Amino acid sequence: MFQWTDEQEMVRTAVRQFIDKEIRPRIEEFEHGDTPPYDVLRKLFRDFGMDVAARDRFAKQIAFEKEVAAAVEAGETPPEKPKRDSEGDGGSSSLTLIPIIELCRVCPGMVTAMGVSMGLTSAAILSKGTIAQKERWAPELLTLEKVGAWAITEPNSGSDAFGSMKSTARRDGDEYVLNGSKTFITNGPYADTIVFICKLDEGNPPEERKILSFVLDSGMPGLEQSKPLRKMGMHSSPTGELFLTDVRVGIDRLVGETEDVAAGGREGAKATFMQERSGVAAMSLGIIEECLDISVQYAKDRVQFGQPIGEFQLIQDKLARMEVARLNVENLVFRTVEMSAAGRSMTLAEASAMKLYSARAATEVALEAVQILGGNGYMSEFRVEQLARDAKVLQIYAGTDEIQITHIAKDLLRR
Ligand SMILES: Cc1cc2nc3c(=O)[nH]c(=O)nc-3n(C[C@H](O)[C@H](O)[C@H](O)COP(=O)(O)OP(=O)(O)OC[C@H]3O[C@@H](n4cnc5c(N)ncnc54)[C@H](O)[C@@H]3O)c2cc1C
């Protein structure tokens, strides 16, 4: 795959039309006001039938899992997993990526909010939950009827997410008692469903404790969700803190309903990091495309010293570098589509390399766009300042640049 197909281009045009009508005119409200992004995203889902498609995919997956469970119980050979996405062009994955790219041209924060809810939170339940847990929480997360949050980061544990984690679960009869605080949690202020990651405290040393995930509902006694935190960018994505004081839960809220988790529970959370990483390339592409379009137009229109600034070689160098970044990141996105079509997943080094490169490219391109536009670039009206602020967090969340580098090296060196 080296370019989008005609069908994919049609989807892109339709999504652009939606964004031009429903989001661009209200950008002030989303970026500088207090309007959360969820209603407009739900409308996007409804208008494009993405909610119905998500429900259908979920129903098929659950029907298959039930068949497997029944076969195992009857001592029969379980059915084979149906082939995914056999269209050869990565059909459904591209139809997910195109809205991400297009939304990121305008409001990358919306993609963060959407991705954490439908992606990370539901994936955490779908990958390790029981069938009953999936049916209880996943459908409404996948359609964004409910807002989800995935909470691992704490005030003293970020990159060293497991090592310094203080949040705990203690057994108490048939229940668990959860305590701890989480910070920088996307959708934290508005989440209906929260995946809370903590350590099982059995009186053993913290480094030996199992990692468990619990699903919480907003409003449970002892659970407090903060107001949105003020931050540098991604204003259309509400970020907050969570405080848990003696929150009591039954085993039905423990993901997988077992403490017997592979690799002490760390693997499930790591799989979620991988998923986050591959989404960042598509986000970066949207930011880069928008910044490049705005910069090229400005370089043609803006006249200084009697000529359009695009005639100056120093400006041409910036435009050329932006185009190189655009092509590289687009190729990484195409690779994701192809791999999904082939049913292949990335290695840790590949996912981390893709995230590292794309996040850096988006930040550099957006800052260069500000430079090309000069004083106007620094003004909100010209939009690149927002994209530069938004792009920066791509180098921080889902694992910082420095952590991506260590993961790439570790993965390469252990081969
Ligand atoms: C807008 C936003 C949304 C977020 N959403 C979520 C969310 O939904 N859920 C969630 O759980 N978390 C979320 N996070 C948290 C995010 O994942 C963390 O901020 C990130 O992992 C970094 O952790 P930290 O901020 O504690 O930085 P630290 O880990 O304290 O890092 C500080 C600096 O030290 C560097 N450093 C750390 N360790 C090493 C090392 N071994 N080698 C070299 N350098 C190192 C880092 O790269 C960084 O430059 C979000 C953060 C932001 C900003």
Give me the CATH number covering residue 285: 1.20.140.10
Number of domains within the chain: 3
Domain closes at, from 99, 124, 146: 146
Measure the CA–CA gap between 277 and 414, rounded to whole angstroms: 21
- For the cut 90, the answer to whether the pLDDT of residue 278 exceeds it is no
Element (H, E) at 43: helix 38-47
* Residue-level pLDDT at 84: 59
Q: For strand 148-151 and strand 193-200, is the pairing parallel, antiparallel, or unpaired?
A: parallel
pLDDT (average), residues 223-227: 98
Average pLDDT over residues 346-350: 91
Q: Count the Cβ atoms, other than its own, within 10 Å of residue 58.
A: 19
- Looking at the structure, do residues 123 and 203 belong to the same domain, yes or no? no
In the DSSP assignment, the letter for residue 153 is -
Do 88 and 170 lie in a common domain? Answer: no
Supply φ then ψ for residue 350, to 5 degrees. -65, -50
Which pLDDT does position 274 carry in this prediction? 72
What single letter denotes the amino acid at residue 253? R
> Which residue's alpha carbon is nearest to atom 41 within ligand 1?
403
Domain shared by 158 and 53, yes or no = no
Q: Is 125 helix (H, G, I), strand (E, B) or coil?
A: helix
Residues with CB under 6 A from ligand 1: 116, 150-153, 158-159, 184-186, 231, 234, 239, 393, 396-397, 399-400, 402-403, 406
pLDDT at 94 over 80: no
Which of 125, 146, 167 is the last residue before a domain boundary?
146
Say yes or no: 387 and 331 in one domain.
Answer: yes
Residue 44 lies in a domain: yes
Q: Are residues 205 and 303 in the same domain?
A: no
Distance of alpha carbon 66 from alpha carbon 88, whole angstroms: 28
**Cα dihedral angle (398, 386, 332, 320), rounded to 10 degrees?**
-140
Token look-up 């059909």 returns 91
Cβ–Cβ < 8 Å for 138, 322 = no
Q: Is residue 233 part of a domain?
A: yes
- 10 lies in the same domain as 126: yes
Predicted confidence (pLDDT) at residue 88 exceeds the cutoff of 50: no
Residue in 154, 196, 232, 400 to alter for ligand 1 test, most ligand atoms within 8 A of Cβ:
400
* Same domain for 197 and 302: no
Closest atom of ligand 1 to 197 CA is 11
For residues 124 and 157, membership in a common domain is answered with no
| 106 and 219 fall within a common domain | no
Structural domain that includes position 329: 267-413
Q: Tell me, yes or no, whether 313 and 181 share the same domain.
A: no
Arithmetic mean of pLDDT, 78-103: 74
| Mean pLDDT along residues 42-48 | 94
Final residue in a domain of this structure, among 91, 111, 146: 146
Least confident piece of the model among 194-203, 217-226, 243-252, 274-283: 274-283
In a domain, 1, yes or no: no
* Global confidence as pTM: 0.95
Please indicate whether residue 180 or residue 278 has the higher confidence score (pLDDT).
180
Average pLDDT over residues 319-332: 98
Provide DSSP, 212-275. EEEEEETT-TTEEEPPPPP-SS-TTS-EEEEEEEEEEEEGGGBGGG-S--GGGGHHHHHHHHHH
pLDDT the model gives residue 172: 97
**Do both 86 and 181 map to the same domain?**
no
Q: How far apart are CA 103 and CA 284, in angstroms?
A: 11
Atom of ligand 1 nearest to the CA of 152: 11
Closest C-alpha among 245, 243, 240, 255 to residue 181? 243
The proportion of the chain whose per-residue pLDDT surpasses 90, expressed as a percent, equals: 85
Q: What is the pLDDT of residue 263?
A: 65
Counting ligand 1 atoms within 8 A of each CB, the residue from 122, 154, 184 with the most, and so the one to mutate, is 184
The CATH number of residue 39's host domain is: 1.10.540.10
